[in-house]
Chains A and B, each alone.
Chain A
Amino acid sequence: MSAAGSAAELGRRVVLSTPVPAVGGALVLTTLVMLAAGVDPALAYPALVRGAVADGNLEYTIAAFVPTLGMALAFALPLRAGEFNLGGDGQMAIGGVVAAAVALELPLPAGIAVALPLAAAALAGALVAGASAPLRTRLGLPAIVTTLLISAPAVSLASYLVRFPLAEQGTGMAQTPPLPESAHLPALAGSAYVTIGLPLVALLTAAWLYADTRTVLGYEIRATGQNREFARYGGVAVDRLAAITLTGGGAFAGLVGGLIVLGPPYRFVEGALTAPGYTFTAVAAVLLATGRPVAVPFTVALLTVLQAGGQGMEREAGVPGQLTQVVQGLIIVIVAVFATVRHLRARSGGREARA
């Protein structure tokens, strides 16, 4: 095949791979929603882009990218084994409140003062998500339901802890006192908002990508996700994998909670973890990547830009920022449809090739 031909072939494959039509379809629908709501897309889209990347906004966007990518791992790891973890909010909130408690109550030397709260946060998140594992494997209760049911009281518990036992005295605000200096995540050079959380989460993402494609565990997780019974028949301990992936996902979510609390403004502020909607932005991003883990960092980046840009759009063009949530929901629905259509077409295509 000529170079031009293979380039065209590559181009066709890129265009037809699910994320591209899904993003395209979502943009068309978003434009329609804008028009239906009386918003001028010619004003809204530039405002969206400026809100995400222009004058100093880029730093906020990168700062929001870190927790979203972390939450993407929390959702994607169990998803690869066929388990839905929708309880990210609760796992993250408990992780955050545990990190704050450890940092406030234990005077630790520098270095450990950052590492220990983060480890405790990951452990707490793992326990919250891990509670769903026996419910899934022993009682057959779907993780999608139990993770969500556990999440709500977990968020309530974190809220209670930050309002009462851990509350900053005398302010009446639902927040902990500021954490000791030694527990602050070091900022990356020259930035006020981006901390070493960024390289840490990037490293974890790389580790997950490696484990997913190159290790036995990753292979078994994928096999279980594709066909649980077949994997079980092949000797894979599917129940153990469900437990590993759910607790692992919870550990990522708990860690994200810890990273947020140990980052600016260096305290647990109620709502600061769950209100930005990292959990479901991450869900949309992972589903948009449609079974290609390598695409996850890119889809997370895209949706973070959209999310951050939504606030700029609200300021500049008066378009409610919730539009970005509309887009995320539409993306998920469209991805689900495209994934099936592609699957069916691949099957009928195979039949034609044989005929």
Chain B
Amino acid sequence: MSILEFSFLAAVLTATAPVVPAALGGLICQAAGVFNIALEGQLLWGAFTAVVCGHLTGSAWAGVLGAVLATVLYAGLLSLASVTFRADPIVVAVGTNLLALGLTAFLMRRIWGSGGTYSSPDLAGLPTLAELGLDVPVLGPQSPLVPLAAALVVAAAWWLARTRSGLRVRGVGGHREAAEALGLRAGAYRHGVTLAAGALCGLGGAQLALGNVTLFSEGMSAGRGWIAVVAVMLGGARPYRVLLACLLFGVAEAVGFRLQGAGLPQQAADAAPYVITLLALVLVAAAARRRPKETTT
């Protein structure tokens, strides 16, 4: 079975890894009752700032740290506009997604003098686990951010189910008035999850630009932030289901890549992840419709 080759599994992990942190960001926002569709722009901004910080410092880890901080800052714009000023979060997110596309394309021309793709032998990528001494099949060629993403899924599940702050976030999302009547400041939790989603998108962007490859190219998030939004819609507020949805996307991308190698046109490979994600979304939504309605919404 060629589909179970190690290289295929590795390709699935590579395709999944940047989406998982972004989807977790969307998930904790969802848990707090915030529909966050700004992930696409934040993922792109994370990828860009990772490369800029990596370029400036010569260190991939500084790139990761810079991406996380810069994307928290970028998410602050969404948080300020939609939580503090109570602007429509969907419209603001449409704006920040477009802004990220323009700002990264603009700044890369100002910094490196040309658009398109920036890569340089001086730009350090993240080390692989094999280089760090963990030379096992499948995981070996991955960056340390890949197991970190998996750990974050476990952490998110534990946090939402078992900790006081996690339960409070869900309380704010489940019944805002009741939570506020109990003395929770809903706005503060909404700020918190929005900024945390920014940090996670920074991490996902760094994995995309310094883990999967070692370069930045315009629009390189290429819809992954939207896939993350769909993963949250598929998985609800349940982290393991969201991980499963991200893996489905990863498999679709890896299969598309394989098929391209087997002679299928590149456009089919490009379309595969979207088509499969959309089909999954439709099937899950149709199945949910057929089940008797639960009392909570």
Residues of chain A at the chain B interface (Cβ within 8 Å)? 33, 37-38, 84, 86, 135, 138-141, 144-146, 148-150, 152-153, 156-157, 159-160, 163-164, 280, 283-284, 287, 320, 322-333, 335-337, 339-341, 344
Kindly identify, within residues 132 to 164 of chain B, every residue whose CB is under 8 Å from any CB belonging to chain A: none
Complex: A224 Cα to B238 Cα, angstroms: 32
B267 nearest CB across to chain A (Å): 4
Complex: A325 Cα to B92 Cα, angstroms: 15
Are B95 and A336 in touch, CB under 8 angstroms?
Answer: yes
Are B110 and A324 in touch, CB under 8 angstroms?
Answer: no
A238 nearest CB across to chain B (Å): 18
Complex: A264 Cα to B249 Cα, angstroms: 39
Are B229 and A332 in touch, CB under 8 angstroms?
Answer: no
Chain B residue numbers with a CB within 8 Å of A157 are 267, 271
Chain A residue numbers with a CB within 8 Å of B230 are 145, 149
Complex: A161 Cα to B40 Cα, angstroms: 28
- The 9 A-B pairs of least Cβ separation, nearest first, read A329-B99, A325-B102, A332-B95, A153-B271, A336-B87, A160-B267, A333-B95, A320-B109, A139-B285
- Name A328's closest neighbour in chain B (CB-CB): B98
Complex: A264 Cα to B286 Cα, angstroms: 45
Q: Can you list, as one digit per residue, whether each of B278-294 has a CB less than 8 Å from chain A (1) or not (0)? A: 10011001100100000
Are B226 and A339 in touch, CB under 8 angstroms?
Answer: no
Are A329 and B96 in touch, CB under 8 angstroms?
Answer: yes
Complex: A297 Cα to B278 Cα, angstroms: 34
With beta carbons under 8 angstroms apart, the residue of B91, B100, B226, B282 that contacts A336 is B91
Counting CB contacts under 8 A, is B115 at the interface? yes
Contacts A38-B110, A153-B271: A332 and B282 contacting too (C-beta < 8 A)? no
B278 nearest CB across to chain A (Å): 5
We find that the number of chain B residues with CB closer than 8 angstroms to chain A is 46
Counting CB contacts under 8 A, is B10 at the interface? no
Chain A residue numbers with a CB within 8 Å of B77 are 333
Chain B residue numbers with a CB within 8 Å of A135 are 282, 285
With beta carbons under 8 angstroms apart, the residue of A84, A146, A159 that contacts B267 is A159
Are B95 and A139 in touch, CB under 8 angstroms?
Answer: no
Are A332 and B265 in touch, CB under 8 angstroms?
Answer: no
Interface of A is mostly: helix
Are A340 and B86 in touch, CB under 8 angstroms?
Answer: yes
Complex: A340 Cα to B95 Cα, angstroms: 15
Q: Can you list, as one digit per residue, whether each of B100-118 has a CB less than 8 Å from chain A (1) or not (0)? A: 1111011101100001000
Chain A residue numbers with a CB within 8 Å of B188 are none
Chain B residue numbers with a CB within 8 Å of A38 are 110
With beta carbons under 8 angstroms apart, the residue of A37, A164, A337 that contacts B81 is A337
B71 nearest CB across to chain A (Å): 16
Chain A residue numbers with a CB within 8 Å of B281 are 141, 145-146, 149
Are B268 and A160 in touch, CB under 8 angstroms?
Answer: yes
Chain B residue numbers with a CB within 8 Å of A325 are 98-99, 101-103, 105-106
Complex: A57 Cα to B85 Cα, angstroms: 40
Are A320 and B98 in touch, CB under 8 angstroms?
Answer: no
Counting CB contacts under 8 A, is B247 at the interface? no
Are B282 and A141 in touch, CB under 8 angstroms?
Answer: yes
Complex: A163 Cα to B267 Cα, angstroms: 10
